[in-house]
């Protein structure tokens, strides 16, 4: 089966400084992949690359013909501007832009879809609340409701279970499993290794570069985790492009 995602020697970074480098590998259609690694390992950077927010400094990400409307990206909740004066209803409704466009009106059918998505994540009655008034767990539920509406082939979740209680995690992991059951491709950046072991068949262990990638049980070894920690500690954030990326100097 053709890959859903192909990373071809991908380097991503900021201001020409690489943050993730030389990533090669493939994600099969319908795969459920955890991306783990220490703080600063490059997980969010990789996901910004997948979502098309960050262009690779070198290499390429091949999305198997998907365009941006086929990708649902759930950013870390710290990246959401909670002071922006928008209601939960309108925020979740932005998940329908794929079908309505940003300036399309919201008819009865769209309204029902938004209310159903809110109900599916346990946010009945929250539609008129400003997003800035939500608790951390309610914010995550709202972000999941928007992903539900996006109906995307590829779903990219950046730390979706951070700082939320066990009940909210359980409800939201059930949604992830549902998307997996529907054949969508799902990648999630996670820190909770227990959750990874219990729910994610495949894991990419990232430490600026790939440390290990494959079946979760094979990747989550103490040796691999130690290597990842050391690689992140040794990484120089101010480094310029890798020697391998620079054009050869004239003799
Ligand atoms: N907007 C930015 N501008 C410059 N550097 C950035 C930016 N975002 C991230 N970085 C740097 O890129 C590197 C990788 O960060 P990234 O956020 O991708 O890691 P992460 O694995 O998601 O970390 P965490 O687990 O802490 O969320 C870090 O050194 C970080 O400081």
Residue 230, in any domain of the structure: yes
- In sequence order, which ranges of the chain are alpha helices (DSSP H)? 43-51, 88-93, 97-100, 108-120, 136-150, 166-181, 193-199, 216-219, 222-234
Pocket test of ligand 1: the residue of 11, 12, 15, 19 to mutate, having most ligand atoms within 8 Å of its CB, is 19
Nearest to 155 by CA among 55, 251, 247, 32: 32
Distance CA 3, CA 30 (A): 10
Q: Indicate whether 158 belongs to any domain.
A: yes
For a mutational test of ligand 1's pocket, the pick from 10, 14, 21, 74, i.e. the residue with the most ligand atoms closer than 8 A to its C-beta, is: 14
pLDDT value of residue 60: 96
What is the best residue among 12, 21, 40, 205 to mutate for testing ligand 1's pocket, by most ligand atoms within 8 Å of CB? 40
| C-alpha gyration radius of the chain | 19
Per-residue pLDDT, 248: 41
Averaged pLDDT, 93-109: 74
**Domain residues for 200?**
1-66+153-165+191-251
Task: State the closest ligand 1 atom to the C-alpha of 41, by its place in the atom list counted from 1.
Answer: 21
Is ligand 1 within 6 A of the CB of residue 78? no
Domain presence at residue 160: yes
Measure the CA–CA gap between 10 and 55, rounded to whole angstroms: 10
- Return d(Cα 231, Cα 41) in angstroms, integer: 9
pLDDT of residue 61: 96
Q: How do residues 194-216 score in pLDDT, each as one tens digit?
A: 999 999 999 999 999 899 999 99
Residue 246 has pLDDT above 60, yes or no: no
Question: What does the pLDDT read at residue 239?
Answer: 64
The model's pLDDT over 36-45, given as tens digits with 9 standing for 90+, comes to 999 999 999 9
Q: How confident is the model at residue 81 (pLDDT cuts 50, 70, 90)?
A: confident
Determine if ligand 1 sits within 6 Å of the CB of residue 237: yes
Is 132 a domain residue? no
Please, what is the Cα angle at 36 between 190 and 68, to 5 degrees?
A: 75
CATH of the domain at 3: 3.40.50.300
State yes or no: pLDDT of 80 exceeds 50. yes
For ligand 1, whether the C-beta of 11 sits within 6 Å is no
Backbone φ/ψ region at 208: left (φ over 0), alpha (ψ -120 to 50), beta: left
Ligand 1 atom with least separation from CA of 159: 27
Distances (CA, A) of 133 to 87, 120, 128, 136: 10, 20, 11, 10
Percentage of residues of the chain with pLDDT beyond 90: 73
Residue identifier of the C-alpha nearest atom 31 of ligand 1: 40
Q: Is residue 176 predicted with pLDDT exceeding 90?
A: yes
42 close to ligand 1 (CB < 6 Angstrom): yes
| Cα distance between residue 161 and residue 144, in whole Å | 11
Pocket flag, ligand 1, residue 84 (CB < 6 Å)? no
Counting the structural domains of the chain, the total is 1
Question: Residue 20 has what pLDDT?
Answer: 94
CA of 191 to the centre of ligand 1 (A): 15
- What's the gap in Å between 46 CA and the centre of ligand 1? 10
Question: What average pLDDT score do residues 80-84 get?
Answer: 86
Ligand 1 atom at shortest distance from the alpha carbon of 189: 22
Note the pLDDT of residue 68.
Answer: 83
The pLDDT value recorded for residue 251 is 39
Sheet containing strand 17-27, strands side by side:
17-27, 5-14, 58-62
Q: Is the CB of 39 under 6 A from ligand 1?
A: yes
Average pLDDT over residues 79-106: 81
Would residue 203 count as lying in a domain? yes
Q: What is the pLDDT of residue 250?
A: 43
Give pLDDT tens digits for 21-56.
Answer: 999 999 999 999 999 999 999 999 999 999 999 999
| Cα→Cα distances 66→26, 44, 247, Å | 15, 20, 31
Contact 20, 131 (CB under 8 A): no
Ligand 1 centroid from CA 182, angstroms: 31
45 lines ligand 1 (CB under 6 A): yes
Mean pLDDT of all residues in 145-163: 94
Asked if the structure places residue 111 within a domain, the reply is no
Is residue 123 one of the residues assigned to a domain? Answer: no
pLDDT higher than threshold 90 for residue 106? no
Between residues 132 and 108, which one has the greater pLDDT? 132
Please report which confidence band the pLDDT of residue 99 belongs to, taking 50, 70 and 90 as the band edges: low
- Mean residue pLDDT of the chain comes to 90
pLDDT at 97: 76
Whether residue 88 is contained in a domain is answered as no
């Amino acid at each position: 089966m053709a890959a859903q995602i192909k990373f071809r020697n991908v380097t991503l970074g900021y201001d020409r400084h690489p943050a993730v480098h030389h990533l090669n590998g493939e994600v099969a259609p319908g795969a459920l992949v955890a991306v783990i690694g220490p703080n600063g390992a490059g997980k969010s950077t990789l996901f910004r690359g997948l979502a098309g927010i960050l262009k690779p400094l070198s290499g390429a990400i091949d999305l198997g013909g998907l365009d941006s409307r086929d990708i649902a990206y759930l950013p870390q909740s710290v990246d959401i501007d909670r002071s922006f004066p928008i209601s939960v209803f309108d925020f979740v409704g932005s998940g329908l832009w794929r079908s309505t466009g940003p300036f399309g009106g919201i008819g009865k059918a769209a309204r029902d879809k938004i209310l159903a998505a809110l109900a599916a994540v346990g946010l009945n009655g929250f539609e008129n609340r400003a997003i800035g008034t939500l608790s951390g767990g309610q914010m995550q539920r709202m972000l999941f409701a928007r992903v539900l509406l996006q109906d995307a082939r590829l779903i990219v979740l950046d730390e979706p279970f951070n700082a939320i209680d066990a009940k909210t995690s359980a409800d939201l992991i059930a949604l992830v499993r549902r998307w997996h059951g529907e054949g969508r491709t799902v990648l999630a950046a996670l820190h909770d290794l227990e959750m990874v072991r219990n729910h994610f068949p495949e894991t990419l262990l990232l430490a600026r570069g790939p440390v290990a990638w494959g079946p979760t049980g094979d990747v989550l070894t103490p040796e691999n985790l130690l290597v990842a920690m050391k690689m992140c500690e040794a990484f120089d954030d101010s480094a310029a492009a890798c020697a391998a990326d620079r054009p050869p100097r004239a003799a």
